[in-house]
Homo-oligomer: A and B are copies of this chain.
């Protein structure tokens, strides 16, 4: 038989444990406290309104219909140094739906860039990102996929979600942002663009962390409407590994350098242009570079390659030509005049239209760091030789191989 005092002791212990548990749970809850959902974006200027400073863009006369952002779906492929910040910015802006694709896990080695935190090490990047982003803005619809998009099965599923995973199930997403760090994934995204109709295509251009270190990253985006579907393939890389394989570079750890600054700037420029494009304000940049060493920001427009060996690209090009022909003459003429061809008739038939003046290029040509053998930096010195064309040419073989690989999938 137990004594009354023993029972009292046990009951006191229970009360103590219950208190401790309540405290621990409230602390845990504090971290998980995400605000309640908001049905309709309000422009009310109060501290409790998470949308007040975004809706103020309307009052300022910058954006006509900010609420429209809730109708769009954006896919972010690659949730690394650029993709994670890109996803966070879109989430905070109140995008309708976000699809995230990645197959990596968070590592302590990722802590040199924004977004992921040490306590998330070991989690998959999409899982960790979804949890953080959902807490930040529960109004956004999230769909995350933890797989490598370049394997056969995954690529099929990836293509399916891009073409049907919009806010209205069955409808395509509005934009795909390529924030990946390797050629294979970039080519997979490019291939998808050829299959899916009626959606816009957008790219963040960064072929490897190498670019960050060399201080330059390219942001490129191509509206299918105004260009070919293979524009990704045709876009000239900023840093070119000649005679060495990208994988070799990475394996040796040479490519592992990156900075939160460069990544943040590129993500910011990417999402800024996404917002301008979706919400129809300002001027959208189709190709924008950032050379961190010199604070130099070259921009370009691209024209499709009439000799492209991709049939979908050619179909796209002829459709575009027909559309252009149907437009009033004067408008087309103006566009023509604005563009100054820097160099045509390179081996790829790509016309690069530079928006950078000779003076600007001269001003930007400062000291260039010593780089490992076989690596050169593009766009730091004035174009006298067709440098950009040459860089594309150098990587031609591996691109062809990759495209062939994609088609065989």
Contact = CB atoms under 8 A, between A and B. Distances in A.
A52 B10 CA distance: 52
Given A113-B92, A283-B366, A293 B264 contact: no
Interface string A83-123: 00100110011000000000000011101111001110000
Interface stretch (A28-36, A155-163, A200-208): A28-36
A360 interface: yes
Contact of A359 (B24, B107, B262, B357): B357
Given A107-B48, A136-B118, A283-B366, A2 B6 contact: yes
A226 interface: no
Nearest to A35: B118
Contacts of A4: 1-2
Nearest to A294: B283
A281 interface: yes
A385 interface: no
A130 to B, nearest CB: 14
Contacts of A10: 7, 10-11, 14
Interface string A60-91: 11100000000000000000000001001100
A56 interface: yes
Contacts of A114: 85, 88-89, 92, 114
Contact of A295 (B7, B264, B285): B285
A28 to B, nearest CB: 5
Give the interface size bracket for A toward B.
35 or more
Interface string A201-225: 0000000010001110000000000
Contacts of A276: 293
Contacts of A46: 109
A402 interface: no
Interface stretch (A144-152, A172-180, A328-336, A368-376): A368-376
Interface stretch (A186-194, A228-236, A252-260, A386-394): A252-260
A207 to B, nearest CB: 16
A27 interface: yes
Contact of A293 (B85, B269, B281, B360): B281
A265 interface: yes
Contacts of A283: 293-295, 366-367
5 contacts: A1-B4, A59-B253, A62-B214, A117-B135, A261-B272
The 8 closest A-B pairs by CB, nearest first: A56-B257, A282-B293, A265-B268, A357-B359, A24-B24, A264-B268, A17-B17, A47-B107
